[in-house]
Amino acid sequence: MMLFLFIVILLFAYFVVHRIFVHRKTFTGTAKLHGKTVIVTGANTGIGKATAAQLAIRGARVILACRSKQRGEEAAREIRMETGNDAVFFMQLDLSSQKSIRSFAETFLKAEPRLDLLINNAGLAAPGRTEDGLGMILGVNHIGPFLLTNLLLERLKECAPSRVINVSSCGHDLGTIDFDCINTHKTLNLGSSDADLFRGYTHSKLCNVLFTHELAKRLEGTNVTCYSLHPGSVRSEIGRDLNEWRTRILKSILSTFGATDPVSGAQTTLYCALQENIEHLSGRYFSDCQLVQVKPEARDDGIAKKLWDISEKFCGMA
């Protein structure tokens, strides 16, 4: 309880500073995407949906990879109507199920000849376990995108130049990697309180940054590049798994102190996906449409390699 109140105070302070001192940047690139194919995970709502719509406006063929068939199909219809782009489609993907991830990849690779952009946007802060026995936050926020990316890498290489975008969070600064906990319990941390979920979420966002760091090394010479990013303080459904009254408190803070709308929150994703001449920055982390240096743990070659090896084991790829 005390930790939750402390988190609320930190958020309060962050949004006051953000509202007073920070003017968020807008991506102004004019790249067109006709003939390009994009996958956006978690694209039925929030930043993912806004990102998918912006890419559709630019002419891309957009695949909304979402768990809910009803919400995914509805989002696809809305984006088609709003953008005038009929090449926006839903494909079912449940990142808490490796069977679903493999099925999605197999179906996509059979049906679609191209993949130019993979945007790993989906994330959650929920208790429980995946159907594969992993902690839910570890499974959905890191292992799922890790497996999906690896299953689609050859197609990305065939269509190069192409990019992988991993939506992380500034919360990664508060995260750490406990390899003993991951190896022993197949989760990022123990406990299921709201404070534990918050800690697990920050750990998973650090995993996103480390995954991007190691992926860039493995993609050298392929003309496939990758980037991680913080989307900003965005009103989204990421806290939907908290207790109801605590969710109301967080939403109140977000609404009062300047949390941006999903379209504004998607700007750094669009920057990493479309900005020209950033290929030499592959593996790096961005916030507010600019490069940001991460803490030493988030760019440690040994930690990134060890996390990759464990992730391969959990996916049955080792």
Which residues are identified as catalytic? 201
266 C-beta neighbours (distance < 10 Å), count: 30
Query: What span, in angstroms and rounded, lies between the C-alpha atoms of 239 and 98?
Result: 24
CA angle 231, 233, 237 (to 5 degrees): 90
> Percent helix, strand and coil across the chain, each rounded to 5?
55, 15, 35
Beta-bridge partners for 163: 117, 225
DSSP 187-232: SSSS--SHHHHHHHHHHHHHHHHHHHHHHHHHTTTTTEEEEEEE--
Query: What span, in angstroms and rounded, lies between the C-alpha atoms of 10 and 12?
Result: 5
Q: What single-letter amino acid sits at 7?
A: I
